[in-house]
Structure 1
């Protein structure tokens, strides 16, 4: 099966997006894959072109011919606009690249620590794969607000079922996709709660080690065995660095409630980011892909990238 992965990158997500690509290309072994990156900014497109990433197709935003897209871009904040683009980009890939049998959307702040192929072999007949948040008790209230499922990893197998689901998701996101909780909706994500009720062939990912994140990491024991990161007795497949913001060349801020650094995953990630920032600077010395979110950064906890 030819698997495609895709991500949407803005200027302030470029460094993490490159880290995502590196982690994926390093860990994917037997499974054939291709990476598709939708570049929102001209600078992002330019830098990634210069990096000449293997197995990667770059798509400039101007190539997505979607009705009312420019209007939505003007009306919505950048993160809201990118959320709106998720089903549109997934649809674009399946329509244009007929050799791709399955396409999986990845948030830029994911990082893979082992081969994700097991996710798909565990659910071989699923048309649509959804990732649960798996909130720990302390965060359970967030499920009612943000949804049972996390849209940072969502996968569609080519076929009519996926086509209908993506069309439905796109139509809803086009009408309403905002960074707030309103009438049972939240961004692109709360819509996912309805997908198992409306469509067939939908499965929750049951594979251990998927979407470990600040909101559930205290449920697990982290360890390193034979050079691999484990959670409890299973390999960590990917960690979701949600809330992590790179604010300058040497510091990051954790904007979610701080549960402490996990040395086995945070330190390697910081070193990778440090190397990527230097590499990008070598391509475009005046590029600054840092977040400016005064409110969230003010309440976050600072850490040094170089550790």
Structure 2
């Protein structure tokens, strides 16, 4: 049984449900601990009776220290602060032998068991996933800003090694976790760069199919589409790999009917193979959630800095690097009606 945990509120409910359904489509051998960060999402998830999900209300993990931090940080920054907290809760409270944190905006195209086979073979206690930025000036700048590793697929078991790393990470996030770029920290993420130096049993995920995202998609091309999903080719080495999950970060709605996916590639075939299934899934989930009175804002804001928040909500979402990154959602809604 593969054990995952994630967190989201009603604002991310469409993405969280798309994540859950993607896992359900790929495998029966999983359990997803969902930490609901507002009352509405918790109530709706209870009504949906998700077979492979275990629900936890945000109040179950909040103590006086977290409640204090909640007042000081933006909603997104507070969620980042709580990432190690929910992993710890699953290991300590539910007593699972291991737990892998996954971001709510991931989507699985294939059974993730191959990733856990790698973890077992490596005898890992802790797993971190590289951003795999391009090896050029732009990629090095991104790595310097955001860190070598991404908080998206992070495994910890019950070993002393894992507990030592998890406790250290949690303490660091409590100390500082903001959407600001500093030499040794950015949100909850750059702390992971210390893991290989400070702790034993740390493994960097090697399978390229785990961790494909807009920041590295330009390094790959579409080889073919199998029944299980896209097969990609690394442009540098020519090696093929099957896409396991994709991180749909930075999708921005220009309006209720138009979305800018910010894919990081100019290949229409590649982005269609990955983004079309996801956009269709999101539209399905949004249609489902309308029955529960859930509607979504087109603005995406996650900084506690008022100026940055304004730019995120009103300027940055209109930044378009490729015209083929623009998708009309009408086509997915019409397909759903048929």
TM-score by length of 2: 0.84
Which deviations, in whole Å up to 9, do the C-alpha atoms of 1:202-246 show, x marking residues without a partner? 000011311111111111122202453111222100111110135
Task: Quote the Cα distance in structure 1 between the aligned partners of 2:256 and 2:49.
Answer: 23
Which residue in 1 is equivalent to 2:336? none
Which deviations, in whole Å up to 9, do the C-alpha atoms of 1:255-290 show, x marking residues without a partner? 5767465111111111111111110112x13x2233
8 Å contact kept, 2:19–2:105: yes
Shift of 1:159: 1.8
Which residue in 2 is equivalent to 1:101? 97
Cα 1:43–1:117 change in 2 (3 A) is same
8 Å contact kept, 2:216–2:264: no
Task: Quote the Cα distance in structure 1 between the aligned partners of 2:117 and 2:189.
Answer: 25
Task: Quote the Cα distance in structure 2 between the aligned partners of 1:255 and 1:295.
Answer: 14
Structure showing greater relative contact order (alpha-carbon pairs closer than 8 Å, 6 or more residues apart): 1
Shift of 1:40: 0.9
| 1:204-215 pair list within 5 angstroms | 204-215=204-215
Task: Quote the Cα distance in structure 1 between the aligned partners of 2:36 and 2:147.
Answer: 27
| 1:121 aligns to 2:117 (yes or no) | yes
Number of corresponding residues: 301
Task: Quote the Cα distance in structure 1 between the aligned partners of 2:4 and 2:228.
Answer: 25
Match for 2:261 among 249, 254, 277? 254
| 1:112 aligns to 2:112 (yes or no) | no
Task: Quote the Cα distance in structure 2 between the aligned partners of 1:291 and 1:159.
Answer: 43
| 177-186 vs 88-97, which moves further | 177-186
Which residue in 1 is equivalent to 2:23? 24
| 1:156 aligns to 2:156 (yes or no) | yes
Shift of 1:34: 0.9
8 Å contact kept, 1:12–1:291: no
Task: Quote the Cα distance in structure 2 between the aligned partners of 1:291 and 1:210.
Answer: 28
Which residue in 2 is equivalent to 1:238? 245
8 Å contact kept, 2:217–2:263: no
8 Å contact kept, 1:249–1:277: no
Which residue in 2 is equivalent to 1:145? 145
Which deviations, in whole Å up to 9, do the C-alpha atoms of 1:153-176 show, x marking residues without a partner? 111112221111111000000010
Task: Quote the Cα distance in structure 2 between the aligned partners of 1:162 and 1:88.
Answer: 13
Secondary structure of the structure 1 residue equivalent to 2:277: helix
| 1:30-179 pair list within 5 angstroms | 32-98=29-95, 100-124=96-120, 125-136=123-134, 137=136, 138-179=138-179
8 Å contact kept, 2:217–2:264: no
Shift of 1:291: 4.3
Shift of 1:148: 0.6
Secondary structure of the structure 2 residue equivalent to 1:155: strand
Once superposed, what is the RMSD of the aligned Cα atoms? Answer: 1.9
Which residue in 1 is equivalent to 2:226? 225
Task: Quote the Cα distance in structure 2 between the aligned partners of 1:253 and 1:92.
Answer: 36
Task: Quote the Cα distance in structure 2 between the aligned partners of 1:157 and 1:254.
Answer: 34
